[in-house]
Structure 1
Amino acid sequence: MELRCAVLDDYQSVAATAADWSPVADDVEVVTFAEHRATEDELVDQLADFDIVVTLRERVPFPATLIERLPRLRLIVASGMRNTSIDHAAAERHGVTVCGTASTATPPVELTWALLLGLARGIVTEANALRDGGRWQSTVGADLHRRRLGLLGLGKIGSRVAQVGLAFGMDVVAWSENLTPERAEEAGVGFAATKEELLETSDFVSVHLVLGDRTRGLLGAKELGLMKPGSYLVNTSRAAIVDQDALLDVLRRGAIAGAAVDVFDVEPLPADHPMRGAPGLLATPHLGYVTRANYAAYYGDAVEDIRAYLDGAPVRRLG
């Protein structure tokens, strides 16, 4: 019996052409899905007849309850080499192999700066007004040169964001629970002893932390209340690091100058979600990793993972 592979959330309908699937074409029927399935029941209906699932990032959770309801499932390929939305223990219990793919930090770094610059210079407001015949110049841009950029996290992505900030002539400082003054100095940035210090003194704050027990809800009402009235927040990491209700509150009150986010508590974002109408918010639909090169890596490695699994020697295993 020919195996069947479901490629999930192929929103742009490019999965089939982003990589060469011919190495598995004789053994696997590949079916792509452009529409997101939001509930477990919908996923069970969608995936019941598939042996392999390719999923992007952490868009689709695979908890134990879902895995148990997919007895035919044998392989999950998730883009990147970390995925907290898959119950790896349940997968192992049910004989499901989980593999990852290569990924690059470059696309989210670039999007971070697209969002930060868009906020600082009112790009969306001004561009829309120009197109619609509206007011000529309605915003006054915020300067980057000699302003402070505070980074929550100085890992693979945060350190690259820091280098761009330095190139703009910004005063870059960083904080995380594990960051040391020595590591900050190596990256050429200042060390904030506490996150409170970073929030109180920064003109721009950008989040670059991994979501976990210690970082979930790291920025709540108290922390956001420490930010300067004229400051900006950028989050291209994970929505749950920032309390979403608290963020909405400070935006509605104008307590900060604005925020830019690429990640949300529910994705895709429902049409009636309050984030869609939040004042002072520049929002993009989780585009951080969505580039041609990254998709080529994701789907190219997915093909390799499937071929290796079929040959009895799985590679890039997660769990």
Structure 2
Amino acid sequence: MRIAILDDYQRVALASADWTALDAAEVTPFHAHIADTADLVAELRPFDVIVAMRERTPFTAERIRLLPGLRLLVTTGMANASIDLAAADAAGVTVCGTRGSAGATPELTWALILALVRHVPEEDRRIRAGGWQQTVGFGLRGRTLGVVGLGTIGRRVAAVGLAFGMEVLGWSQNLSPAVAAEAGVSPVGKDELFAVSDVITVHYKLSERSAGLIGARELGLMKPTAFLVNTSRGPIVDEDALLASLHAGAIAGAALDVYDEEPLPGGHPLRVAPRTVLTPHVGYVTDDGYRAFYGDAVEDIAAFAAGRPVRVLGTGPR
């Protein structure tokens, strides 16, 4: 069995699980992202198993068609919007998922919020250059946190906001008042959340319905002293509208871990946008998360080889 591990940016995939449990398997990690379809297919054609890290490398119908030897595609996590499951099914490719670390993204969310409102990157750069304090931090106690999407991650983020002494508001298209009450969150309309919140954090599943969910209108409702944080998916926030708001000083700042195009191109305007904190989609990137991802990937491959696939996402052969 020939196994390809894609987008092993940190070169830790082999050390994060016991790949020797897969008898006689040849495991090859790819450390650099391969964006071009022709280049990707040329590299992957010899492999019958591919392990994909989240949505870093999309598997479209075209790419699956161009990999006729592919038998098993493992994605880290139990959902991957960048894999065409119907195309995989039609090609006889089994798609399996893995567990992960539920606490990783909420932790990064709060790292970004605190870095943003307390100007941590700016003051870090200044002190390294020989300077001293110049900014005034934005205190959180008594302020209002707006959580867009109150699923598992949103509720964990809300709990920290409550611990900081913030009033926490929540909105989603189908938010249950009972779920909000259980989380200690006040359910409000979308416009109210954007108009009154001091910090707005996005935890929404990307779909055709949620793409562009936060655009010029929503950003225009925000107070000029308010901050926006997105650790969910890039297309949920209109990048052009966000850039316009930042350059106009219409909002106080933004912290982003996700983008429309990833990796973010070198010359992208967000890289030089004012009042921003940027991280390279590391919300799920933790040591325990990687051990869960790759450990389960090994289990998935072993189970498939034994004819008893587990954690199947597609409807290919079992």
TM-score, normalising length: structure 2: 0.98
What is the distance in 2 between the residues matched to 1:178 and 1:147? Answer: 25
**Residue in 1 aligned with 2:232?**
237
Name the aligned partner's letter for residue 46 of structure 1.
Answer: E
Give unmatched runs, 5+ long, in structure 2.
none
After TM superposition, give the deviation of residue 240 of structure 1 in Å.
0.5
Give unmatched runs, 5+ long, in structure 1.
none
What is the distance in 2 between the residues matched to 1:288 and 1:47? Answer: 27
Helix, strand or coil for the counterpart of 1:58? coil
What is the distance in 2 between the residues matched to 1:105 and 1:203? Answer: 26
1:69 aligns with 2:73: no
What is the distance in 2 between the residues matched to 1:222 and 1:46? Answer: 44
**Residue in 1 aligned with 2:14?**
16
Q: Alpha carbon RMSD of aligned pairs, Å?
A: 0.8
**For residues 136-168 of structure 1, what are the alpha-carbon distances to aligned partners after superposition, in whole Å with 9 as ceiling and x for unaligned?**
111100010000000001110000001000000
**Residue in 2 aligned with 1:156?**
152
**Residue in 2 aligned with 1:317?**
312
**Residue in 1 aligned with 2:123?**
126
**For residues 247-301 of structure 1, what are the alpha-carbon distances to aligned partners after superposition, in whole Å with 9 as ceiling and x for unaligned?**
1110111110000000011111111111111111100000100000000000000
**For residues 202-239 of structure 1, what are the alpha-carbon distances to aligned partners after superposition, in whole Å with 9 as ceiling and x for unaligned?**
00000001001221100011111110000000000000
After TM superposition, give the deviation of residue 27 of structure 1 in Å.
3.0
**Residue in 1 aligned with 2:247?**
252
Q: How does 1:136-155 map to 2 (within 5 A)?
A: 136-155=132-151
What is the distance in 2 between the residues matched to 1:240 and 1:70? Answer: 28
Q: Which runs of 4+ in 1 moved over 2 A?
A: none
1:189 aligns with 2:189: no
Correspondent of 1:221 among 194, 209, 216: 216
What is the distance in 2 between the residues matched to 1:243 and 1:223? Answer: 10
Q: How many residues align structurally?
A: 314
What is the distance in 2 between the residues matched to 1:151 and 1:181? Answer: 14
Q: How does 1:79-98 map to 2 (within 5 A)?
A: 79-98=76-95
Correspondent of 2:202 among 198, 207, 210: 207
**Residue in 1 aligned with 2:267?**
272
**Residue in 1 aligned with 2:175?**
179
After TM superposition, give the deviation of residue 304 of structure 1 in Å.
0.2
1:284 aligns with 2:279: yes
**Residue in 2 aligned with 1:58?**
55
1:5 aligns with 2:3: yes
1:38 aligns with 2:21: no
**Residue in 2 aligned with 1:27?**
24
Name the aligned partner's letter for residue 164 of structure 2.
Answer: F
Helix, strand or coil for the counterpart of 1:225? helix
TM-score, normalising length: structure 1: 0.97
**Residue in 1 aligned with 2:108?**
111
**Residue in 1 aligned with 2:292?**
297
After TM superposition, give the deviation of residue 39 of structure 1 in Å.
1.6
Name the aligned partner's letter for residue 314 of structure 1.
Answer: P
Helix, strand or coil for the counterpart of 2:221? coil
